[in-house]
Amino acid sequence: DAGVTQSPTHLIKTRGQQVTLRCSPKSGHDTVSWYQQALGQGPQFIFQYYEEEERQRGNFPDRFSGHQFPNYSSELNVNALLLGDSALYLCASSWGQGESSSSFGSGTQLSVL
Amino acid sequence: TQLLEQSPQFLSIQEGENLTVYCNSSSVFSSLQWYRQEPGEGPVLLVTVVTGGEVKKLKRLTFQFGDARKDSSLHITAAQPGDTGLYLCAGARGYSTLTFGKGTMLLVSP
């Protein structure tokens, strides 16, 4: 039973570029949430996708956008990258009906130079 | 603004010692979760506490949820090197969205 998988594991970009990160949820989960974890900080909620729509959003600019596909997998897109976007990006999946425990992937480490 | 404050931020102890990590919130959450994260990995859920005053035990780990559901503690008895990692508390609101504290980095030396 596969858990949450994320790709790529590491990525290096330069300022101003655009990046796409991918996530496949745990089997049986239909909801995907994205978090940003800067060095020395706890994860911060970016947004959550359920039924292919953004259901909730944290305090992140419009440069951060996402998508969920019919198979529940998801993408996180970041445009016009800034140095401050360097972080570990975590994907978490859960069952969308009410509250349920989240399972996290190992993350994508993004470095912006 | 971080709504969850964790203390201490860093803890370095010897194998066999006991320790307590604290998580305090300015808000009430529907539940509070504790995670452990190792370098280069995602957080792994240890426990979820829901009811005020609740106490849960997981082997050598004891978790308490305050009566007012705004604070929690994690106590580890006889720490082992394998307990080394970043311990995160997170408050849950609707639809499984989590608000995390900054974490407590625990280092247990043999």
Using alpha carbons only, give the angle A11, A48, B51 rounded to the nearest 5 degrees. Answer: 120
* CB-based contacts of B26, cutoff 8 Å, min separation 6: B3, B70
Q: Say yes or no for a CB contact (<8 Å) between A56 and B97.
A: yes
pLDDT per residue as tens digits for the range A58-88: 999 999 999 999 999 999 999 999 999 999 9
Mean pLDDT of B30-53: 91
List the single residue in B31, B92, B102 with the smallest CB-CB distance to A41.
Answer: B102
* Predicted pLDDT of residue B95: 67
* Predicted pLDDT of residue B103: 96
* Predicted pLDDT of residue B27: 85
Which residues does chain A have with pLDDT short of 50?
none
* CB-based contacts of B71, cutoff 8 Å, min separation 6: B22, B23, B24, B25, B65
List the single residue in B31, B95, B101 with the smallest CB-CB distance to A42.
Answer: B101
Mean pLDDT of B27-41: 90
Is B39 exposed, middle or buried, given 0-12, 13-18 or 19+ CB atoms closer than 10 A? exposed
Q: How far is CA B110 from CA A67, B15, B21, in A?
A: 46, 5, 20
Interchain contact A31–B (C-beta under 8 A): yes
